[in-house]
Amino acid sequence: MTKMFRSVKSWNLYLGFTADQMVNIGAQSIPIVMLTSLFSGMVTSVQAAYQFESGFVPTWFVGSIVGESVLLELAPMITGLVMTGKIGATITAEIGTMRVTEQIDALESLSFDPVSFLIMPRVLAAAIMFPILVIVADFCGILGGLFAAQHAMDVSAQEFIRGLRTWFRPWDAWFGLIKGIFFGIAITSIASYKGFTTEGGAEGVGKSTTSTVVISCMVIVLLDYILAEIFL
């Protein structure tokens, strides 16, 4: 990690690449994050409503459950898993192709450190953009939960918002953003490493890409548990 920053020769050049990666990782991923988090919030709301059919639990509890579930778990986790398939695989394929076609060797011959040139902008962009994507997922997940609650259990918007406020703690939102930072760094680091170590031509690129997705998913689940143990 420190090598990436020590080897930077022109921050203007590298910041330009970082901005490009922020668009690729963040802006272009917003639609899929919105869609997946929206339906995740809806499913959570429907399941909560199903559990409360007995009538012994106030209906506004649906808002509390959806809010806590989305902020603490669903938004950062779903964002991480979705981005593993979208961004992790893309980064590995790009860098892996550069490795097998000797483009990385060409960068070294031009006195560019490939680690700083190829990995640092991606890792930095992910650390910046993943929390923003988590915020988008938070909003869409809660909005989807509200929509489903109104239709599945006739919960009014006022009751749903009351439930959100009852159990809401600012730290819950911050914790999700912290998860996003760790997930973003982990995914891009794993993807870049697998791309750099690719060998065997096109077949090797395919194997590295598959390996990236599998390993990243496992690491995200593990990080999710570790961060929960540390911060909650």
**pLDDT at residue number 88:** 94
**How many of the other CB atoms lie within 10 Å of CB of 227?**
16
CA distance 122 to 151: 42
Q: Could you give the C-alpha distances from 218 to 11, 137, 190, 213, 222, in angstroms and in order? A: 34, 21, 11, 9, 6
In this prediction, residue 87 carries a pLDDT of 93
Q: Which residue has the tokens 């409360």?
A: 52
pLDDT, position 152:
75
Structure confidence at residue 42 (pLDDT):
94
Dihedral of the CA atoms 79, 85, 90, 95 (nearest 10)? 100
Contact yes or no for 176/71 (Cβ under 8 A): yes
Name the pTM for this structure. 0.90
3-state DSSP of 4-56: HHHCCCCHHHHHHHHHHHHHHHCHHHHHHHHHHHHHHHHHHHHHHHHHCCCCC
Q: Which residues of the chain fall short of a pLDDT of 70?
A: 1-13, 54-55
**What is the per-residue DSSP string for 156-210?**
-HHHHHHHHHHH--HHHHHHHHHHHHHHHHHHHHHHHHHHHT--SHHHHHHHHHH
CA atoms in the 13 A half-sphere facing the CB of 58: 10
What crossing angle do the helices spanning 170-196 and 89-100 adopt, rounded to 10°? 20
Question: What is the domain partition of the chain in residue ranges?
Answer: 9-231
Q: Please tell me the predicted confidence (pLDDT) of residue 147.
A: 94
Q: What is the pLDDT of residue 84?
A: 94
pLDDT at 142 (0 to 100): 96
Q: Cβ neighbours of residue 171 under 8 Å, at least 6 residues apart?
A: none
